Structure 1
Amino acid sequence: MKESVFLQIAGNEVDICDFSKEAKNVWKSEGNKVKDIKKIELYVKPEENKCYYVINKTFKGFIDITG
């Protein structure tokens, strides 16, 4: 089964799953391995144009929603 969740904001459409993929890419770019991820939390804040992420309760950052 494939599941998609889209956020539509300011004339743009963003696949929420892309935020998870991007957070994993940042995690990997810091020398970590995806297999070491136990939990990813995403907080989408359209009013700030950002998606904040927390990986394993300690690794934090954000992604711009509309690029």
Structure 2
Amino acid sequence: MATRTTTKKAELKTSTAKPATEKEAPAKKTVTKKITEKAATVKKTAVRKTSSRKTVSLNTEVYVQWLGKEVYERDIIENIKKVWTEEMGKKESELVDLKIYIKPEDNGAHYVINGDITGFIDL
């Protein structure tokens, strides 16, 4: 008896497998078409986003306050530029890199210009 039931099950499986493959072929074409349409939509959206980007500038102000005294960052930079142009006789365009180390305990600021010229100004 076991042989007969096994044979019937095998026949049922083969008869149902053929229609399933025939139905899958048209579905694959539709999926490919949808993916292509989505890719085209994504490309259009990406182009729109990059063309509408604007750069935002940040307005910053730095103050140093110590023992009732207040010094503004821009004033320190202007004083260093004066030293660079008037005392050293250089052009302002030659000042490429400026590092400032504010030391309230010394009541001044140390600076390094273009990586090799150092100095100190009073606050």
Normalized against structure 2, the TM-score is what?
A: 0.49
Match of 1:35 in 2: 93
Q: Which has the higher strand share?
A: 1
Q: Which has the larger radius of gyration?
A: 2
Residue among 68, 82, 90 paired with 1:11: 68
Number of aligned residue pairs: give it: 65
User: Equivalents in 1 of 2:60, 2:112: separation in Å?
Assistant: 22
Q: How high is the sequence identity, in percent, across the aligned residues?
A: 37
1:32 partner SS: coil
CA positional deviation for 1:31: 0.8
Once the two structures are TM-superposed, the CA of residue 54 in structure 1 deviates from its matched residue by: 0.8
- Output the aligned Cα RMSD: 1.2
* 1:47 corresponds to: 105
Unaligned 5+ segments in structure 2 are 1-57
Which structure 1 residue ranges, 5 or more long, are not aligned?
none
Question: Residue 83 of structure 2 aligns with which residue?
Answer: 26
Superposed CA offset, 1:22-62 (max 9, x none):
11110001110010111000001111111001111122111
Identify the structure with bigger relative contact order (alpha carbons < 8 Å, sequence gap 6+).
Answer: 1
Cα distance in 2 between the residues matched to 1:21 and 1:61: 14
TM-score, normalised on structure 1?
A: 0.85
Provide the residue aligned with 2:54 in structure 1: none
